Amino acid sequence: MRRILPSLLLISFVASGPHVAADPQVFRAESELVVLHVNVFDERSDAVPELPQTAFRVVDNGQPQEITFFSSEDVPVAAGLIIDNSGSMIARHRMVSAGGLAFITASHPEDELFTIHFNDEVHYGLPDIVEFTNSESLLRAALVKYPAGGRTALYDAVIAGLDHVERASHQKRVLVVLSDGKDNASRHSEEEMF
């Protein structure tokens, strides 16, 4: 495995039995599923691997909750690299591309990845017909597709990334934002990101 961070999955599942209505063709059920993805780091910001289920306790509104499923397997994620291509990034452009490439090569082979580049506007790095990929060659090309220049539409880029990652098939989703500055070009506000 090449992934750096461990993924811990905690699930609580409660299901009620079938409710039969007047029409015997109808099946109704209720379920409540809570999934918690956890990454643990030590004081040096190093990942702490292989923690047992007993190392965790889940509390909801002061009430302890039973952990009914626990796994520390490396699961694929949907991840977006949101890359600042504003003028202030010109000197850092090569370093950011190298960091993005390191992230891509360390990713799980089944990860769904995409890139968004932003300066005055937001641009998607992958071809229009490709929403997500794990192809290293497509992602390499996406990292260097746009030259740096212009202002910083950070909020617009994060909102676009949040909208895009929602279309992923993987349940675990993350955005990695690489930027050096404050927003000075977005049509959206900081509050709209939340």
124-166 pLDDT per residue, tens:
999 999 999 999 999 999 999 999 999 999 999 999 999 999 9
Kindly report, as residue ranges, where domains of CATH 3.40.50.410 are found in the chain: 78-193
- Answer CATH for 78-193 from 3.40.1440.10, 3.40.50.410, 3.40.47.10, 3.40.50.970: 3.40.50.410
The reported pTM is 0.71
Q: According to the 3-state scheme, what is the secondary structure of the chain?
A: CCCCCCCEEEEEEEECCCECCCCCCCCECCEEEEEEEECCECCCCCECCCCCHHHCCEEECCEEECCCEEECCCCCCEEEEEEECCHHHHHHHHHHHHHHHHHHHCCCCCCEEEEEEECCCEEECCCCCCCCECCHHHHHHHHCCCCCCCCCCHHHHHHHHHHHHCCCCCCCEEEEEECCCCCCCCCCCCHHHC
Q: What are the pLDDT digits (tens) for 140-150?
A: 999 999 999 99
